[in-house]
Amino acid sequence: MAETNTSTEFDQVITVCRSLFLKKTKDYGTAWRILRPSSITDQIFIKAQRIRTLEEKKISKVGENITSEYIGIINYCVIAMMQLELTDADPTELPYEFVEDSFNEKVNETKDLMFAKNHDYGEAWRDMRVSSLTDLILMKIFRVKQIEDNEGQTLASEGVKANYQDMLNYSVFALIKLGVE
């Protein structure tokens, strides 16, 4: 029962994120294609750090909330995974249908990873605090930054894509816990 529930909850959160992502794609095109991997990582860092600040101070001076920041992390993680597969030879402006298909592909791969890990961990995230999920995202960001500083070379660690997938999943978990539908 929990697996079906988690699947439905995951899909509900992603529906919100996908809708915003695709609306912004219509508004702005794929201007994000200009971002280097390190810049995408920094954008995710800014959002996660802002969440942590809001969790601690409980007040926002610009009127945005934690929910919108987690949605931003999810969408930037998808952008990062897309950018990992694209090259400088690919066009800056990508067709809308390609972006939509790629978004769905990245999310589906990440959802599959989530279910594999949930099998092994028994959905432990359900007993975690949202603030702990924020901290895990920040830790993953620092790991990605280190891998980027090492020019992608790792000795015993998963690569950046797996870290982006984990950050995406942690953000989905946080939004599920926050009641986003």
Residue 2, pLDDT > 70, answer no
Q: CB of 178 within 8 A of CB of 67? A: yes
Mean pLDDT to the nearest integer, 57-70: 80
Mean pLDDT to the nearest integer, 52-70: 83
Span 108-156, pLDDT tens digits: 999 999 988 877 788 889 999 999 999 999 999 999 999 999 888 777 7
* Rounded distance between C-alpha atoms, residue 119 and residue 131, angstroms: 23
Least Cα distance to 137 among 96, 170, 177 occurs for 170
| Token code pair at residue 155 | 């000795």
What are the residue ranges spanned by the domains of the chain? 2-177
Confidence of residue 175 (pLDDT cuts 50, 70, 90): very high
Residue 1, pLDDT > 60, answer no
Confidence of residue 63 (pLDDT cuts 50, 70, 90): low
The residue type found at 136 is L
pLDDT at position 4 is 53
* Rounded distance between C-alpha atoms, residue 143 and residue 164, angstroms: 10
How many other C-beta atoms lie within 10 A of the C-beta of residue 70? 28
Instruction: Please spell the DSSP secondary structure of 54-123, one letter per residue.
Output: HHHH---SSS--HHHHHHHHHHHHHHHHHHHH--TTS-SS--HHHHHHHHHHHHHHHHHHHHHHHHHHTS
pTM: predicted TM-score of the whole model, two decimal places:
0.92
- Of the chain, the end-to-end C-alpha distance in Å amounts to 19
pLDDT at position 157 is 79
